[in-house]
């Protein structure tokens, strides 16, 4: 019997644990919060901090492999565990994805384009960066941003002082505003044997920095699709990555692709694979990090995944009554504004 340890206790861990169960694998959740969504569907749970070496040692002894469902697990935690048990993704991959400057430097270093960017530690840095990369941009904290948090849009140099103040002293990065035609993502998986499998790119709509819907397939031509898949493959190979990764991209006019960010874990834009494919992103990740062969990522259906955010939870009675709606609720108590409470996927006959 295999036991997979998962660092983090949110909905991604919950869906990983359910996929693992289908393969006869037990999960042990390690997370600082008691009663987490993932712990409530898992065989075992440890409630302790990510720097608690005593608890981490016991956790390492109790599991056969470790993964993460949360990209801000301290790299030191992954490193501590990796001396005791296989850990994927690696501390190095986490470190790159946790810092927007390291991430963009890595991407540019392997020949992948991003929006133009500059590191910003002072107001002078910001003014110089605005001069160099144009008046419109987005200032983002280097670390710990998610769902659009830690970001401020600038329409011109007059917004600099206020935007800089909003970073509250945190190191930041200015990105040029990408006037994209659409946003897509590639969910890619790489196994311990180096095999890479990618799911069909999905097209993503955000509002207020939060993902609302993913539609599969994305409305892109074959050349753009193939370029997107090749980029994802280049990224996972360069990272010597094991597991599932989400690669967010902007499609520019004419089809050029910029990578926005990489997420070293299963990804919200891959939730449609639960219904759309024989092997979901969650099962694929479990297979990869447990050293099993990867599964077939082909989709049997097209799909639209819609997030249920905050008060959207009030539509659950209607969704329960809707034929064909595949509803997932994460078991979170309080429907705070902006909080991801669940999602619903609707399949369509596959076209193309």
Ligand X SMILES: Nc1ncnc2c1ncn2[C@@H]1O[C@H](COP(=O)(O)OP(=O)(O)O)[C@@H](O)[C@H]1O
> For residue 273, is it left (φ>0), alpha (ψ between -120 and 50) or beta?
alpha
Neighbours of 148 (CB within 10 A): 15
Question: Which partner from the list ligand X, Mg ion, none does 95 bind, CB cut-off 5 to 8 Å by kind?
Answer: none
- Could you say whether residue 177 binds ligand X (CB under 6 A)? yes
> What is the maximal distance between C-alpha atoms in the chain?
61
Q: Is 261 in the site for ligand X (CB under 6 A)?
A: yes
Question: Does 205 interact with ligand X (rule: CB under 6 A)?
Answer: no
Residue 99 as a binder of ligand X (CB under 6 A): the answer is no
What x-and-dash track marks residues 237-256 binding ligand X by CB under 6 A? -----------x--------
Instruction: For the segment 262-301, give every residue that binds ligand X (CB under 6 A).
Output: none
Q: Of these partners, Mg ion, ligand X, none, which one is at the site of residue 147 (CB under 5 to 8 Å by kind)? A: ligand X
Closest to ligand X by CB, 4 or 138: 138
Taking the CB of residue 181, how many other CB atoms lie within 10 A of it? 15
Does 175 bind ligand X (CB under 6 A)? Our answer is yes
CA pair distance 149, 126, nearest whole angstrom: 19
Do 343 and 326 touch, CB atoms closer than 8 A? no
Of the candidates 124, 157, 154, the one whose C-alpha atom is nearest the C-alpha of residue 140 is 154
Out of Mg ion, ligand X, none, what residue 181 binds, judged by CB under 5 to 8 A for its kind, is: none
User: Rounded to whole angstroms, how far apart are CA atoms 16 and 293?
Assistant: 17
Of the pair 170, 178, the CB lying nearest ligand X is at 178
d(CA 259, CA 234): 12
Please work out the total of residues on this chain that contact ligand X, with binding judged by CB under 6 A. Answer: 15
Residue 287 near residue 191 (C-beta atoms within 8 A): yes
Assess 115 for contact with ligand X (CB under 6 A). yes
Report the partner that residue 148 touches, choosing among ligand X, Mg ion, none (CB closer than 5 to 8 A by kind). ligand X
Q: State the residue for tokens 């999905």.
A: 202
Please tell me whether residue 266 adopts helix, strand or coil conformation.
coil
What is the DSSP pairing of strand 325-329 with strand 340-349? antiparallel
**Shortest Å distance, C-beta 138 to ligand X:** 5
Among 146, 165, 338, 348, binds ligand X (CB under 6 A): 146
Least Å distance, CB 148 to Mg ion, is 8
Taking residues 238 to 267 in sequence order and writing x for each that binds Mg ion by CB under 5 A, - otherwise, the string is ----------x-------------------
First-to-last C-alpha distance (Å) of the chain: 41
Q: By the criterion CB under 6 A, which residues form the site for ligand X?
A: 115, 138, 145-148, 175, 177-178, 183, 206, 209, 248, 260-261
Q: By the criterion CB under 5 A, which residues form the site for Mg ion?
A: 248
């Amino acid at each position: 019997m295999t036991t997979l340890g998962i660092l983090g206790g949110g909905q991604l861990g919950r869906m990983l644990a359910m996929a693992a169960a289908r393969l006869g694998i037990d999960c042990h959740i390690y997370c600082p919060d008691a009663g987490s969504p993932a712990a409530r569907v898992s065989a075992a749970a440890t409630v302790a901090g990510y720097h608690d070496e005593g608890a981490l040692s016991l956790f390492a002894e109790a599991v056969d492999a470790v993964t993460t469902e949360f990209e801000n697990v301290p790299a030191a935690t992954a490193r501590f565990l990796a001396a005791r048990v296989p850990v994927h993704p690696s501390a190095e991959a986490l470190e790159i994805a946790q810092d927007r400057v390291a991430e963009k430097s890595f991407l540019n270093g392997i020949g992948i384009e991003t929006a133009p960017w500059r590191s910003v530690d002072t107001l002078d840095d910001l003014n110089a960066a605005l001069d160099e990369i144009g008046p419109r941009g987005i200032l983002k904290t280097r670390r710990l941003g998610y769902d659009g948090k830690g970001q401020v849009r600038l329409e011109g140099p007059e917004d600099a002082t206020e935007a800089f103040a909003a970073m509250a002293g945190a190191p930041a990065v200015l990105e040029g505003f990408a006037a994209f035609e659409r946003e897509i993502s590639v969910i890619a998986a790489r196994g311990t044997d180096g095999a890479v499998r990618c799911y069909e790119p999905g097209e993503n709509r955000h509002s207020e920095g939060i993902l609302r819907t993913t539609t599969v397939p994305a409305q892109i031509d074959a050349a753009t699709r193939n370029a997107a898949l090749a980029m994802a493959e280049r990224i996972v190979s360069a990272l010597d990555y094991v597991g599932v990764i989400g690669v967010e991209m902007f499609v520019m006019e004419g089809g050029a692709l910029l990578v926005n960010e990489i997420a070293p874990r299963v990804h919200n834009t891959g939730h449609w694979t639960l219904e759309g494919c024989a092997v979901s992103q969650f099962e694929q990740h479990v297979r990869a990090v447990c050293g099993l062969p990867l599964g077939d990522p082909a989709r049997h259906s097209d799909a639209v995944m819609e997030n249920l955010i905050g008060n959207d939870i009030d539509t659950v009675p209607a969704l329960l009554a809707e034929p064909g709606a595949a509803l997932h609720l994460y078991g979170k108590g309080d429907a705070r504004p902006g909080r991801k409470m669940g999602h619903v996927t609707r399949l369509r006959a596959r076209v193309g």
